[in-house]
Amino acid sequence: MPQTFPKNQRNSDWLVGSAVKILDTDHRKRPKGPKPHPPVDNYFNYFTEIEEHFQRRRGSILLLSTLDWALIETWKDAGIPLEAVLRGIDSAFDRYDLRLAKTKKVNSLAYCAQEVLAASEDMKEAAVGVMAESKPETGFESAKIAEFLRRCANQLRAAKLASKTGISPEAVACDVSTRLEELAREIET
């Protein structure tokens, strides 16, 4: 969904305002531990959540490179949950913060890639033994199909069909309903 701007506000004003909001949120003031994140509603949210989180932890606005976007897409395609990516980014920056010599800043999301994969593996290991969600009904169980065929056969027998010269709709409906009954019996066996 494209971003709409008020008519009296330029795009650059909006961008600067957004940057100030991001920079004002200091990650060191957050309580330690996992931060609850809303589930990713769509493809766009996955990318923007990761980008904003990386920028927040870095402490300045850095537009992600094409390779960073490709890395995010690889994570998305691999099914790595958003929570694992955010934990991995936090872990990588926590490790960076512990370094004594900080002559270089983290300039790429690739710096966090190994930590993201480790966080994903940790989440998978933590999920071992957790009961998987039951699969929803497919709707194609043989009993349901047989019931549907019998219901259609009964409706054909009960239908009032107009006769035409040369064609007997009642005979055709009777033949079809008989065949539907046969199919229902075959499916049940």
pLDDT of residue 130: 67
Q: Which of 90, 94, 95, 89 is nearest to 109 (CA)?
A: 89
The one-character DSSP state at 98 is T
CA distance 170 to 141: 31
pLDDT value, residue 137: 61
Task: Report the pLDDT value the prediction gives residue 172, as an integer from 0 to 100.
Answer: 85
The residue among 158, 189, 151 whose CA lies nearest residue 174 is: 158
- Give the model's pLDDT for residue 19: 41
In this predicted structure, what is the pLDDT of residue 85?
93
Positions in the chain short of pLDDT 70: 1-43, 130-139
What are the pLDDT digits (tens) for 105-120?
888 899 999 999 999 9
